[in-house]
């Protein structure tokens, strides 16, 4: 499989599954799709790491190398339909995971679409990539991050998720160098906007 799904410890999936089952059984979900779903129909799929990149780390040629792992994220399925995402935090591989949040926002659907699109890319079909998501909160950027694996890897690939900020096209395949250049430009534009408004 060109896109490698790295599975966390079973404790991560268990803490998310237990939360979903408990809240669903009690009828306490406050979001539309999860509240309407039957507890028995919910399943977890496509686990991936979530990385955060701070604004001050965006500098030089390899900004994304400074990104830090913040959570494990699963897509939540009702039958075969993606209806939400759920996250848990596990600070070390041996630490007890803690449930973090569920989300039904637009990035959920765009994650599923981006994964489907990524699987059709020629370089992905020919290579080996680890699936992850990168968040840059200060720039309102979230991107699918396909991390190249192995000595013959063509390098990392980034696909910005929808909604994307102005100046970044959602769904566009970007090399690590091109994505880094966009982040540097967005950071510079943010600084200019902040200076003008102050």
Residue-by-residue pLDDT tens, the chain, 198 positions: 579 888 999 999 999 999 998 888 888 888 889 999 888 899 999 999 999 999 999 999 999 999 999 999 999 999 999 999 999 999 888 899 999 999 999 999 999 999 999 999 999 988 889 999 999 999 999 999 999 987 777 899 999 999 999 989 999 999 999 999 999 999 999 875 554 543
Q: What local confidence, expressed as pLDDT, does residue 197 receive?
A: 44
DSSP designation for 198: -
Distances, alpha carbon 193 to alpha carbons 28, 189, 197, 198, in Å? 41, 6, 6, 9
pLDDT of residue 159: 98
Number of folded domains that form the chain: 1
SS3 of 41-66: the string is HEEEEEEEEEEECCHHHCCCCCHHHH
Cis peptide before 146 (omega within 30 of 0): no
- The count of C-alpha atoms lying within 13 angstroms of the C-alpha of 95, restricted to the half-sphere facing its C-beta, is 9
Cα–Cα distance for residue pair 64/151, rounded to 1 Å? 19
Distances (CA, A) of 167 to 17, 127, 156, 164, 184: 38, 29, 21, 8, 12
Output the CA torsion sign for 12, 15, 17, 20: negative
Burial of residue 145 (CB within 10 Å: 0-12, 13-18, 19+) is buried
Task: Please report the pLDDT score of residue 192 as a whole number.
Answer: 58
The domain containing residue 145 runs over which residues?
Answer: 3-197
């Amino acid at each position: 499989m060109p896109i490698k799904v790295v599975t966390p410890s079973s404790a991560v999936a268990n803490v998310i599954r237990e939360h979903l089952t408990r809240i669903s059984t009690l009828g306490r979900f406050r979001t539309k799709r999860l509240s309407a779903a039957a507890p028995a129909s919910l399943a977890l799929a496509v686990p991936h790491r979530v990385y955060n990149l701070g604004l001050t780390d965006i500098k030089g040629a390899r900004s994304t190398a400074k990104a830090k792992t913040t959570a494990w994220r699963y897509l939540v399925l009702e039958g075969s339909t993606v209806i939400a995402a759920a996250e848990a935090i596990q600070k070390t591989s041996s630490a007890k995971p803690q449930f973090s949040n569920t989300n039904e926002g637009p990035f959920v659907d765009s994650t599923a679409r981006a994964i489907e699109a990524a699987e059709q890319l020629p370089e992905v079909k020919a290579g080996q990539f680890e699936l992850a998501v990168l968040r840059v909160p200060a720039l309102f950027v979230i991107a699918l991050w396909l991390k190249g694996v192995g000595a013959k890897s063509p390098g990392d690939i980034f696909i910005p998720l929808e909604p994307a900020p102005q100046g970044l096209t959602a769904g566009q395949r970007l090399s690590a160098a091109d994505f880094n250049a966009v982040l540097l430009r967005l950071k510079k534009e943010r600084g200019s906007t902040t200076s003008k408004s102050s």
